[in-house]
């Protein structure tokens, strides 16, 4: 499903880490689908470039690791548009940190940005999301569920995001808020440069990653919000977005044991999604999302 062909008019979306890569492309796609979008990140100039791509995109520059940043982001969206329907926790950092080089400061910084910040933002957004029966989409990584030599703490931070997703899905389902995660593989963005790698190191990493991917290339700029099929962001039954309103607690793709489609996406038996049964059992059977 291409969300740009669906009507998200009247919806309000916050996308963090929207100055480049997946965050920028997601913000654009939501805006083209009719939503009002607040893009958030540390670099005001990069956010302005994102906002220049569509008039429905507004900028809020903030370092989400700072005290009070989460509340300021949600307040900014509510002040502009009076509601909130979707929170996309996309902001994150990558740090290569072999065990021999591990420091307390390095671990704390990773978890402050990748775990604590999205947790506080989700907390700040909770009440308006309950009012709209909205959705939270946490952006994880394939390294949240597979090993990565030399960057174990980055993988651990993304594993934490996936654990939070499953628990929040169960916790928030009674209030009508769905929580899902998407776990992209290697995707073109500025993440490697931001991690401090030299151009030569970036080229080596990209070549090694492409070698392990069946299609022989890293992900390129997506044309739809996180999840590609659009299903994690449907906010209420009956909305024009053609995806299941009963899905919660998913990570997309779910795990290495799941069935893989020819395009490389995966699906997982519905039995793994306890929150789907919790939120849907009274009104509709839980259904597996369909791949794009």
Q: Is 154 a catalytic residue?
A: yes
Q: For residue 89, how many C-alpha atoms fall within 13 Å in the half-sphere facing its CB? A: 33
Instruction: Give how far the C-alpha of residue 51 lies from the chain's centroid of Cα atoms, to the nearest Å.
Output: 19
DSSP secondary-structure letter at 274?
A: H
Q: Is 158 exposed, middle or buried (0-12, 13-18, 19+ CB in 10 A)?
A: buried
The CA-CA-CA angle for residues 220, 235, 84, to 5°, reads 90
Task: Answer whether 85's CB lies under 8 Å from 29's CB.
Answer: no
Angstrom distance (rounded) from CA 157 to CA 132: 29
| Catalytic residue (choose from 81, 154, 246, 265) | 154
In sequence order, the 6+-apart residues with CB closer than 8 A to the CB of 287 are 244, 246, 247, 270, 276, 280
What are the phi and psi torsion angles at 14 (to 5°)? Answer: -105, 130
DSSP string, 175-215: GT-EEEEE---SBSSSHHHHTT--HHHHHHHHHHHHHHSTT
Positions marked catalytic: 154
């Amino acid at each position: 499903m291409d969300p740009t062909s669906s009507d998200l008019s009247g919806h309000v979306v916050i996308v963090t880490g929207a100055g480049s890569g997946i965050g920028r492309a997601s913000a654009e796609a939501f805006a083209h689908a009719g939503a009002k979008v607040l893009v958030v990140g540390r670099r005001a100039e990069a956010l302005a470039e994102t906002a220049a791509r569509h008039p429905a995109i507004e900028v809020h520059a903030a370092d989400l690791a700072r005290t009070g940043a989460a509340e300021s982001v949600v307040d900014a969206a509510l002040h502009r548009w009076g509601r909130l329907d979707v929170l996309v926790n996309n902001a994150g950092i990558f740090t290569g940190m072999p065990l021999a080089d591990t420091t307390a400061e390095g671990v704390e910084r990773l978890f402050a940005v990748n775990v604590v910040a999205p947790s506080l933002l989700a907390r700040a957004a909770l009440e308006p999301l309950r009012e709209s029966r909205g959705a939270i989409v946490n952006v994880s990584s394939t390294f949240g569920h597979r090993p990565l030599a030399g960057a174990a703490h980055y993988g651990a931070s993304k594993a934490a995001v996936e654990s939070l997703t499953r628990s929040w899905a169960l916790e928030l389902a009674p209030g009508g808020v769905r929580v899902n995660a998407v776990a992209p593989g290697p995707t073109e963005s500025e993440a490697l440069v931001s991690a401090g790698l030299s151009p030569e190191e970036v080229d080596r990493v990209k070549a090694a990653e492409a070698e392990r991917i069946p299609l022989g290339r890293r992900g390129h700029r997506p044309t739809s919000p996180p999840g590609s099929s659009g299903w994690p962001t449907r906010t209420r039954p009956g909305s024009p977005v053609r995806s299941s309103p009963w899905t919660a607690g998913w990570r997309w793709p779910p795990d290495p044991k799941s069935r893989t489609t020819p395009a490389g996406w995966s699906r997982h038996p519905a039995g793994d999604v306890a929150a789907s049964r919790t939120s849907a059992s009274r009104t509709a059977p839980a259904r597996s999302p369909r791949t794009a």
